[in-house]
Structure 1
Amino acid sequence: MAAARTAADGDVVRWIDANAVRPARIDAEGPVDDLGALRRIVGGAKVVGLGEPSHGAHEQVTVRHRVIRYLVERMGFRTVAWEESWGSGVAVDRYVVSGEGDAREVVSRMGFQWRGEAMLGLVRWMREFNRGRPAHDRVRFVGADVMELRAIPFDEVTRYVRDVAPGRLAELRRHLDPIAYRGTPEDHFRWYFGQSEEARKGFAEDARAVVALVTSLPEGPSRIGREDAVRHARSILGFYESYVERLEDVAAPVRDRHIARILTEWQGRTGHRVAYGAANVHTTASPRVTWRFPPDPVPKEDKTMAGGHLRAHYGRSYVSIGTVSHAGRILGGWENGPPSVFTVPPPGPALVDHTLGQARHRDYLLDLRAKAPEPVRRWLRGPATMRIIGTAYDVARDADYTMRVPSWSAGFDAVLHLAATTPTRLLPR
């Protein structure tokens, strides 16, 4: 079996060498003509998922920024969506559209894993791209996640109800006050996880009542549009539903159903082509994903994640481009206080990361739908296990940080391979 695998790996590596496209650079600067292969890979897709294998690496943001530049500048994409809370995304969007405020301040209020120089570069580039453009042609930013809350959704839901249905404001308060935002994401987490399991279930019911109330209201005279008010309410619900759910018990995690709904609603509302950046486990188009994040001893098996919902909704108009890092350093461990730098070793031979790392080029883009001989097609059709690291990492358990899809080519249409990464360069506090 080992000899057969070695022979197959040789065929695969030769195929990669023949088809991989080497970018001129993996930062976001300079002309982007080196990424012309994206035109063939992306085609007419409405949404493109741009995955990453871990949070906390500088180059994993800069290379996606470079890809986003190509999609925006050369292919007409006009929304950048991100694995970031909806409310925080609203603040970023208002900055890149209007220029009001300060880019560094906006980025410093994003989720902890994004508060770095690379993200600041992306936000500043979006603002510069928009400068002087008509409103209909500006690039927008969407926080396509629900795992953190911000004040904006609470404030603007309240404003909308006060404006269009003041007689129902007391009803809103009965449900919104018990789940009100506690000042900062960290404060809110501390408050929430200090509550009993029964209380948390009650919070989810209150959040559902808020959604029901807001969706029952007509469009009215308010500076808050009805679609925005409904989306604000649903983002609050997404937080409370996600944290009462046991992932082991469900086939389609509610968090990723919310992510997919945010993206499909936004794309339908604006007509924009959307570039969506998140972890590979969220962006893969596979209908089933299994992953493990130590120290959690229980793997999450055969789940439908956001990318699976997007492929079901859009078909081939959803394209998934994964990213694999061979080795390097990342910044992680925020759950335990200030983050630390971790060294990630080269992947073991059981991972597709290992095979990809045997190619001639260190950094490259590979179309997994390129013409291939039968041994390679078998490899592409077969299951794939790849490394996936969240915000926590223990090098002693590196082999346990994995995600698995039943078919490599059904899970990803293309892959970006990075030879090495450096830690996220945090903005000074």
Structure 2
Amino acid sequence: MIPGTSPRTGPGAGPGTNTADDVLGAVLPLEVEGDLDPLMDRIGDARVVLIGEASHGTHEYYAWRAALTRRLIAERGFSFVAVEGDWPDCRRVGRSVTLEPGSPRDPREVLDAYERWPTWMWANEETAKFCRWLRDRNADLPPGERAGFYGLDVYSLWESLRAVVDHVAEHRPEHLEAALDAYGCFEPHGEDPREYGWNTALVPEGCRDEVLALLTELRRPAEPGDTRDPAELFDARQNAEVAAGAERYYRAMLDGGPESWNIRDVHMADTLGRLMEFHGGTPPDGEGKAVVWAHNTHVGDARGTDMAEAGMVSLGQLARDRHGRDETVVVGFAGGPGEVVAAPRWGGPMEVVHAPAPAPGSLEALLAESELHRGLFIVPPEPDKPHFLTDTLGHRAIGVVYDPDRDRRQYVPTRVADRYDALCWFRATSELTPLHLEAAGRGELETLPSGV
């Protein structure tokens, strides 16, 4: 179940009177890239822009998110893009787009090598096109001014541990014993998160001590005069942070409830903060400027939904609290019927499925009734806002697992004005284009909430 949905209440509708005229009176055009100008004005000097998606398989969300990001990098000097993806995989993409020595010349080649299910989230033509643009732009800049590409997520426990062992064996042999102890603790579980989760249910401490010892070693600052590459040192530390976060995540996931979700989003928020600090410029800037790509359920402020009532936090909420409301802008996406790439079950093969017309009473149904093809809504600062921005309305959220026959369960009760600073709407949507087909694989274990 997507967070905040309730099979008892369905999408629901708020208490206000919402009409097509209200929608048409508040909308801005969204047909060409220049129509993003009002949103660029709203972003202003913000240092964190979180850009969502209402599914992990819709072309329009990926394409317009990339268009906005290109402008933020080219016109506002944003330092990097951080996505809802694994750190090691995205680090390889980042090396390519920043032209690091020995990296592939074409980032599409790196994306096409993604193997972890669901590969289509990032191994798609839309992401490849953006990354090629980013590499081409970076090629004309000195290394210190090139925009990076990183992963924020917590899943890559074994990959990150292997990366740490390789790094310390070559560059920091004084920490090799701690790295091998951590890796050796996980080795009996055969790289199976389910097995590790079940085993730690019987032995609650799991491999916690080994991972924390490794993390303590790698968190120590470099000595003055250390000539090692700061990016490689940061990479090693971040892989250790991923291992620590993943260990907590896998221990918590079998218990249900919000803890595993919160561990994941707090990890993403912590990673974002470290990246901003790492990309910090000279005073008074102090921090790099970040663009975040993730599902609406992550980038939106949980306090604008009933996720908060369930004890859940979100990356967008944490970003607003940590970096300041004036420094943070959240952009959500919504769409009507159309094709979407998703899987019928966790770990299953990708399919192109049809998302039906939105459920009556939902935000999407209201926007569709206006017959608006596309549109941009920017939440006004005035307290007197259109009711559809302040009422609680169901807001569709499609994850990597999706059953159109159960679409009415896919709605998060949402107050748009509290959850986002802006919303992009598409009345009809189409599927994104995966780089390759994939067979069913183990992937990562599904936890609450599913598919996001």
| TM-score bin (small chain) | 0.7 to 0.9
After superposing on structure 2, the runs of 4+ consecutive aligned residues of structure 1 that deviate more than 6 Å are 4-7
Larger strand proportion, structure 1 or 2? 1
After superposition, where does 1:13-24 map in structure 2 within 5 Å? 13-24=20-31
Q: 1:395 maps to what in 2?
A: 404
CA distance in 2, matches of 1:310, 1:421: 29
Name whichever of 99-108 and 136-145 sits farther off. Answer: 99-108
CA distance in 2, matches of 1:74, 1:339: 36
After superposition, where does 1:33-182 map in structure 2 within 5 Å? 33-98=34-99, 100-101=103-104, 102-110=106-114, 112=119, 113-149=121-157, 151=159, 153-162=160-169, 166-179=173-186
After superposition, where does 1:110-259 map in structure 2 within 5 Å? 110=114, 112=119, 113-149=121-157, 151=159, 153-162=160-169, 166-179=173-186, 188-189=192-193, 192=196, 197-198=201-202, 201-216=205-220, 218-219=222-223, 220=226, 222-223=228-229, 225-245=232-252, 246-248=255-257, 250=259, 253-259=262-268
- Please state how far the C-alpha of 1:312 moved relative to its aligned partner: 0.8
2:258–2:311: 8 Å Cα contact kept in structure 1?
Answer: no
CA distance in 2, matches of 1:351, 1:225: 47
Q: Which amino acid aligns with 1:209?
A: A
Q: Normalising by structure 1, report the TM-score.
A: 0.84
Pairs aligned (count) = 404
1:331-365 CA-partner distances (Å, limit 9, x unpaired): 11162432122211111223212222233431111
Q: In structure 2, the residue corresponding to 1:421 is in which secondary structure?
A: coil
Pair 1:309-2:318 in alignment: yes
CA distance in 2, matches of 1:96, 1:182: 35
Q: 1:294 maps to what in 2?
A: none
Match of 1:363 among 374, 388, 403: 374
Q: 1:320 maps to what in 2?
A: 330
1:181–1:188: 8 Å Cα contact kept in structure 2?
Answer: no
Q: Which amino acid aligns with 2:218?
A: V
- Please state how far the C-alpha of 1:249 moved relative to its aligned partner: 5.0
- Please state how far the C-alpha of 1:307 moved relative to its aligned partner: 0.8
CA distance in 1, matches of 2:324, 2:16: 34
Q: Which amino acid aligns with 2:323?
A: Y
CA distance in 1, matches of 2:311, 2:397: 16
Q: 1:274 maps to what in 2?
A: 290
Q: In structure 1, the residue corresponding to 2:96 is in which secondary structure?
A: helix
Q: In structure 2, the residue corresponding to 1:52 is in which secondary structure?
A: coil
Match of 1:427 among 410, 431, 435: 435
- Please state how far the C-alpha of 1:78 moved relative to its aligned partner: 2.5
Indicate the structure whose relative CO is greater, using CA pairs within 8 Å and at least 6 residues apart.
2
Query: CA, structure 1 residues 252+55, in 2 after alignment: closer, same or farther (shift >3 Å)?
Result: closer
Gapped runs of 5+ residues in structure 2? 1-12, 280-286, 438-452
Q: In structure 1, the residue corresponding to 2:68 is in which secondary structure?
A: helix
Name whichever of 417-426 and 392-401 sits farther off. Answer: 417-426
Query: CA, structure 1 residues 371+18, in 2 after alignment: closer, same or farther (shift >3 Å)?
Result: farther
Query: CA, structure 1 residues 79+36, in 2 after alignment: closer, same or farther (shift >3 Å)?
Result: same
- Please state how far the C-alpha of 1:371 moved relative to its aligned partner: 5.5
Q: In structure 2, the residue corresponding to 1:276 is in which secondary structure?
A: strand
Q: Percent identity?
A: 24
Q: Which amino acid aligns with 1:391?
A: V
Query: CA, structure 1 residues 339+5, in 2 after alignment: closer, same or farther (shift >3 Å)?
Result: closer
CA distance in 1, matches of 2:144, 2:363: 42
Query: CA, structure 1 residues 70+360, in 2 after alignment: closer, same or farther (shift >3 Å)?
Result: farther
CA distance in 2, matches of 1:182, 1:133: 45
Gapped runs of 5+ residues in structure 1? 26-31, 292-298
- Please state how far the C-alpha of 1:123 moved relative to its aligned partner: 1.2
Q: 1:28 maps to what in 2?
A: none
Q: Which amino acid aligns with 2:348?
A: G
Name whichever of 193-202 and 128-137 sits farther off. Answer: 193-202
- Please state how far the C-alpha of 1:408 moved relative to its aligned partner: 2.4
2:123–2:436: 8 Å Cα contact kept in structure 1?
Answer: no
Q: Which amino acid aligns with 2:177?
A: A
- Please state how far the C-alpha of 1:380 moved relative to its aligned partner: 2.8
CA distance in 2, matches of 1:95, 1:82: 16
Query: CA, structure 1 residues 45+426, in 2 after alignment: closer, same or farther (shift >3 Å)?
Result: same
CA distance in 2, matches of 1:428, 1:171: 38
Name whichever of 253-262 and 118-127 sits farther off. Answer: 118-127
CA distance in 2, matches of 1:181, 1:413: 47
- Please state how far the C-alpha of 1:158 moved relative to its aligned partner: 2.6
Q: 2:365 maps to what in 1?
A: 354
Q: 1:332 maps to what in 2?
A: 342
Match of 1:341 among 331, 349, 352: 352
Q: Normalising by structure 2, report the TM-score.
A: 0.80
- Please state how far the C-alpha of 1:214 moved relative to its aligned partner: 1.8
Query: CA, structure 1 residues 423+380, in 2 after alignment: closer, same or farther (shift >3 Å)?
Result: closer
Query: CA, structure 1 residues 103+383, in 2 after alignment: closer, same or farther (shift >3 Å)?
Result: same
Q: Which amino acid aligns with 1:21?
A: L
2:304–2:418: 8 Å Cα contact kept in structure 1?
Answer: no
Name whichever of 82-91 and 220-229 sits farther off. Answer: 220-229
Query: CA, structure 1 residues 340+355, in 2 after alignment: closer, same or farther (shift >3 Å)?
Result: same
CA distance in 2, matches of 1:76, 1:37: 18
Q: Which amino acid aligns with 1:335?
A: W
- Please state how far the C-alpha of 1:243 moved relative to its aligned partner: 2.1
Aligned-residue CA RMSD in angstroms? Answer: 3.0
